[in-house]
């Protein structure tokens, strides 16, 4: 196994790709475990006009029940986390590792451990070199009995060999990720795997299935305070370039709510883009927007401490998803939450614990790839 210092991840220009992750904010099974957990969703709308133009207002539509189940991808990040850009090839390699776990009937937790391990060992690249004779995604060594050069540079074979070792580790399902990974890898840097857990959870939930959600705790029970956050907002440090500042976007959203404007039905992504001064978000749906921001490193999967002005993304039970604007103080501005097409100001917990029961994906900086046009939402005078 590699004995070199932890590898730095190159910042890559990522193509638009399917990266989905959701944070489970409340509810769960009676006993924490790392196996697959399921629970129903209650979505509203489909948000398919996220980037589009205004549509005629109509009556309020209540949430639509969904019979499908969500698969929980348990994560428990420890210490600072890294969320770099991942290239299309790196994502494909993570998908292979995840699909091998599914084929073997292993839980999503196994895939998170494996993907995080490959992030550290090879930055998800199928390397033909490494420390001494280390090779492949997991930097396995032919001289140590992992297989031939051809075998361990085959991502499917390499993944299976990692899982062969993982399932022999006592309590691997509930041990800290870096301990479980180290028990298999026996690296000279045993704590280096921990920083990849959040990012690994995002990639695993992408390929596990459309109903995959990620919970930031080691099983199905919610962590204390997971639903409502800490109550103290961190300072915003956004680098995204928009026509408006975060303060102006928040002011525009509040003004839209007060105006009674009602042309944002199923146009959540367009609403947040307009709050920031754009006429179009540049993404067809909220889910696509989230995928692009996770791929670019602007997403914070599962992080329940957003700064004011952040975009909060949710699994709505449909392919479109939902996005809203965080105002600060645990308050949000969202389309459709008060009525058909209107903008409502509500406590953040109403999205996950109210009639919608959506699942929280995470927050992202207010970046709008491919956005364009000019907003029709006015900014109150004097807001900077």
Q: What is the pLDDT of residues 209-236, one digit of tens each?
A: 655 555 543 333 333 333 344 458 999 8
Q: Report yes or no on 31 lying in a domain.
A: no
Q: Report yes or no on 30 lying in a domain.
A: no
* pLDDT higher than threshold 50 for residue 184: yes
Specify the CATH number for the domain of residue 109. 1.10.530
Q: Report yes or no on 156 lying in a domain.
A: yes
Higher-confidence position of 204 and 375: 375
Residue 26: closest CA among 220, 204, 305: 220
Mean pLDDT of 37-43: 30
Residue with the two structure tokens 């962590």: 223
Higher-confidence position of 166 and 48: 166
* pLDDT higher than threshold 90 for residue 182: yes
Higher-confidence position of 92 and 183: 183
Of 45-59, 81-95, 194-208, 264-278, least confident by mean pLDDT is: 45-59
Whole-number Å distance between alpha carbons of 121 and 3: 10
Can you give the pLDDT at residue 231?
Answer: 59
Angle (CA) 374-380-382 rounded to 5° is: 110
* pLDDT higher than threshold 70 for residue 179: yes
Q: pLDDT tens-digit profile of 308-335?
A: 999 999 888 777 889 999 999 999 999 9
How many structural domains is the chain composed of? 2
Q: What Cα–Cα distance (Å) separates residue 64 from each residue in 94, 209, 221, 317?
A: 33, 21, 25, 9
Q: Report yes or no on 158 lying in a domain.
A: yes
* pLDDT higher than threshold 70 for residue 65: no
Same domain, 58 and 90: no
Helix, strand, coil fractions of the chain, as percent rounded to 5: 30, 15, 60
Same domain, 235 and 367: yes
Q: 343-347 and 331-335 as β-strands: parallel, antiparallel, unpaired? A: antiparallel
Residue 219 CB neighbour total at 10 angstroms? 21
What residue numbers bound the domain in which 178 lies? 71-210
* pLDDT higher than threshold 60 for residue 356: yes
Contact 201, 34 (CB under 8 A): no
Same domain, 370 and 270: yes
Specify the CATH number for the domain of residue 357. 3.90.1720.10
Same domain, 189 and 240: no
In angstroms and rounded to an integer, the radius of gyration of the C-alpha atoms of the chain is 21
Same domain, 172 and 76: yes
Proportion of the chain above pLDDT 90, given as a percent: 45
* Mean pLDDT over the full length of the chain: 77
Same domain, 384 and 248: yes
Whole-number Å distance between alpha carbons of 130 and 113: 21
Q: Report yes or no on 247 lying in a domain.
A: yes
Residue with the two structure tokens 């004011």: 308
Can you give the pLDDT at residue 267?
Answer: 95
Task: Name the token pair of 82.
Answer: 């890294």
Q: Report yes or no on 314 lying in a domain.
A: yes
Task: Name the token pair of 44.
Answer: 């509203």
Can you give the pLDDT at residue 298?
Answer: 84
Same domain, 238 and 180: no
DSSP state of 143: G
Same domain, 58 and 131: no
Same domain, 59 and 76: no
Same domain, 324 and 273: yes
């Amino acid at each position: 196994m590699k004995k070199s210092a932890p590898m730095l991840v190159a910042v890559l220009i990522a193509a638009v790709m399917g990266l989905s992750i959701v944070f489970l904010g409340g509810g769960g099974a009676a006993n924490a475990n790392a196996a697959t957990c399921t629970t129903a969703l209650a979505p509203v709308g489909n948000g398919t006009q996220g980037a589009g133009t205004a549509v005629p207002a109509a009556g309020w539509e209540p949430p639509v029940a969904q019979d499908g189940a969500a698969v929980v991808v348990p994560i428990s990040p420890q210490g600072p986390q890294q969320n770099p850009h991942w290239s299309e090839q790196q994502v494909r390699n993570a998908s292979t590792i995840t699909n091998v776990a599914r084929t073997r009937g292993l839980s999503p937790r196994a895939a998170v451990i494996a993907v995080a391990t490959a992030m550290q060992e090879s930055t998800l690249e199928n390397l033909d070199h490494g420390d001494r004779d280390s090779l492949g995604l997991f930097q396995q060594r032919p001289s140590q009995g992992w297989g031939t050069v051809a075998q361990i540079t085959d991502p499917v074979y390499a993944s299976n060999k990692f899982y062969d070792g993982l399932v022999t580790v006592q309590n691997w399902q509930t041990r800290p990720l870096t301990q479980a990974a180290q028990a298999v890898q026996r690296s000279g840097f045993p704590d280096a795997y921990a920083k990849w857990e959040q990012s690994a959870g995002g990639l695993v939930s992408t390929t596990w299935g459309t109903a995959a959600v990620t919970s930031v705790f080691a099983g199905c029970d919610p962590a204390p305070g997971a639903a409502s956050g800490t109550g103290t907002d961190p300072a915003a440090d956004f680098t995204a370039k928009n026509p408006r500042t975060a303060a102006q976007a928040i002011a525009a959203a509040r003004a839209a709510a007060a105006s009674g404007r009602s042309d944002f039905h199923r146009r959540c992504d367009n609403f947040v883009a307009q709050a920031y001064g754009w006429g179009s978000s540049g993404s067809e749906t909220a889910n696509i927007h989230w995928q692009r921001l996770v791929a670019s490193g602007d997403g914070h999967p599962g992080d329940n401490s957003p700064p004011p002005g952040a975009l909060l993304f949710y699994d709505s039970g449909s392919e479109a998803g939902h996005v809203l604007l965080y105002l600060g103080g645990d308050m949000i501005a969202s389309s459709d939450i008060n009525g058909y097409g209107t903008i409502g100001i509500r406590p953040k917990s109403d999205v996950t614990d109210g009639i919608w029961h959506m699942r929280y994906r995470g927050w992202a900086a207010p970046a709008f790839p491919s956005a364009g046009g000019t907003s029709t939402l006015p900014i109150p005078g004097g807001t900077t």
